[in-house]
Structure 1
């Protein structure tokens, strides 16, 4: 057993408070810390957890320290620095938050949307970050514009390494007396646009021999149907869940190393929820636990940060206190 009290002065302290529920929030003596060490080494991965308690803020920080034991998973965005990512629906909400997080990580991002003036403004705001944000005007309802948009990216920015399929919509239209045009609008954007963008990017990745990553921004309503009216929206997101697994199987069948991840958020602050023009909707979404776009961006960065032999297939993100 290494002498941690010698290596890390913090371990010379007789007691260390524990944030782990398995210890019932009791004070840990040195023998308890040694048993915690044995627990991690038995898992073939040792991570030293140092608990730091700020006496002024009472904030607890858990600091992982790798000691180069085998099979330690290292999360890093370094492999994507200087690479090209496309984020659809990047003008606001989740898409804008993801684009920002990627630029801050050193990624060259192309935001696809109709409101390119908003993306250009975001790009100016991020001018001092290590990456860069470009705007590409694309109507994601139009297949020709999608195809031409990816051609423009390849010819002017570079081949795509990351695709974030974020563009999506919902319509207040019931199944018993709804508008066919509204149904079609939801399915065209949430399903067909996602498929078209994915196809174009995979063709590009295979041509350039890129082991890229495709992320579908799904929803918890792609796994269960809510009790409040979402109409055809859950059906469109259930399709995304199926398409994620179908794509994973298809990529495996051709020996591809391209990753695919579904990120399924709970309700998120956006133009469809807290910023809706409908006052009743705004009031409803203000009354329930809700996520921020930045929370989803953090989840996307986590999935992208995993090593090449690790694939996050499904990531569900819910706000604390969500009822269902």
Structure 2
């Protein structure tokens, strides 16, 4: 088992869900944890629930969609700690509904957070991680939705998560050509009991969208399924187990694999997508 004590762990989207679970688990391993999120109330809850006497926790208000803010965050982290051993580009939001009906501002919001937020993290942290002289790993959070075919009403979310998967595959190959011990993993959760299906809570009231009846019924059904999933703390233990095993693909729940095989076969055989197939996704 890896000795994480004294190492530095940066987590975006640490105010709730998977990010909060990762923060608590890393603290239990004795790591110096820096949790960042736009949700300051969530960060306070993580602080209040942090295990005592294990590791250290700092929090930082951060909108990952803001490149300058991420640059300042990276400056602060390196000024305080001088290194980053684990970087979780985990912040993410969910937008669903018919792709042509969702306002363009919603498309921009989810792309700016889910895709550009990861890119901002890579741009401002990886150069320093390559120079720090210690082993490091970048973990980008995608979803099983980033592996499977497009689900009904899920185009916005899956578009961003497919981008994160491909970006991380390229990152892994590019880092392998660099000197030093830095590598990457992509995290693809299925259902985990998070608040991702309630992402609208993070937006001003006048920017929230009322879904159509069919979309809302789908949204509510999946949100209820997700709420019954494993806890973020249980999930975090599985994530660290995969990291310690050196895995690129961090996929703790593999029950969806037959659907992935079906999609791959559809592509190989050039069959049209199954119009009745829909999948539950979470981050």
TM range (shorter): 0.7 to 0.9
- Secondary structure at the aligned position of 1:265 is classed as coil
Within the alignment, does 1:286 sit opposite 2:224 as a pair? Answer: yes
Within the alignment, does 1:213 sit opposite 2:137 as a pair? Answer: yes
CA contact (8 A) 1:119 1:134 kept: no
Within the alignment, does 1:163 sit opposite 2:87 as a pair? Answer: yes
Report how far residue 304 of structure 1 moved. 3.0
Q: Which residue of 2 aligns with 1:53?
A: none
Report how far residue 140 of structure 1 moved. 1.1
1:253-264 to 2 correspondences below 5 Å: 253-264=177-188
Moved more, 213-222 or 228-237: 228-237
Q: 1:138 & 1:128 partners in 2: Cα distance?
A: 25
Report how far residue 271 of structure 1 moved. 1.5
- Secondary structure at the aligned position of 2:250 is classed as strand
CA contact (8 A) 2:89 2:118 kept: yes
Q: Which has the higher helix share?
A: 2
1:58-207 to 2 correspondences below 5 Å: 76-78=1-3, 80-207=4-131
Q: Which residue of 1 aligns with 2:264?
A: none
Report how far residue 109 of structure 1 moved. 0.4
Q: 2:225 & 2:37 partners in 1: Cα distance?
A: 30
Q: Which residue of 2 aligns with 1:245?
A: 169
Choose which of 302, 306, 310 in structure 1 pairs with 2:241. Answer: 302
1:303-318 to 2 correspondences below 5 Å: 303-306=242-245, 311-318=246-253
Q: Give the TM-score normalised by the residue count of structure 2.
A: 0.77
Report how far residue 161 of structure 1 moved. 1.3
Q: 1:114 & 1:169 partners in 2: Cα distance?
A: 12
Specify every segment of 5 or more residues in structure 2 that has no aligned partner in the other structure, as ranges: 202-209, 211-215, 260-283
Q: 1:256 & 1:142 partners in 2: Cα distance?
A: 29
CA contact (8 A) 2:82 2:132 kept: no
Report how far residue 112 of structure 1 moved. 0.7
CA contact (8 A) 2:139 2:186 kept: yes
Matched residue pairs, number? 244
Q: Which residue of 2 aligns with 1:267?
A: 191
Q: 1:251–1:322: structure 2 CA closer, same or farther, 3 Å change rule?
A: closer
Q: 2:86 & 2:236 partners in 1: Cα distance?
A: 14
Report how far residue 267 of structure 1 moved. 2.2
CA contact (8 A) 1:137 1:149 kept: no
The alignment yields a C-alpha RMSD, in angstroms, of 2.6
Q: 1:127 & 1:287 partners in 2: Cα distance?
A: 29
Q: 1:187–1:298: structure 2 CA closer, same or farther, 3 Å change rule?
A: same
Q: 2:127 & 2:87 partners in 1: Cα distance?
A: 12
Report how far residue 131 of structure 1 moved. 0.8
Q: Which has the higher contact order (CA 8 A, sep 6+)?
A: 2
Q: Which has the higher strand share?
A: 1
- Secondary structure at the aligned position of 1:244 is classed as helix
Q: Deviations over 1:188-231 (max 9, x none)?
A: 11111101112222111122212201111110011013533212
Q: 1:177 & 1:96 partners in 2: Cα distance?
A: 33
Report how far residue 233 of structure 1 moved. 1.1
Q: Give the TM-score normalised by the residue count of structure 1.
A: 0.68
Q: 1:143–1:287: structure 2 CA closer, same or farther, 3 Å change rule?
A: closer
Q: Deviations over 1:224-243 (max 9, x none)?
A: 13533212211111111111
Q: 1:123 & 1:200 partners in 2: Cα distance?
A: 26
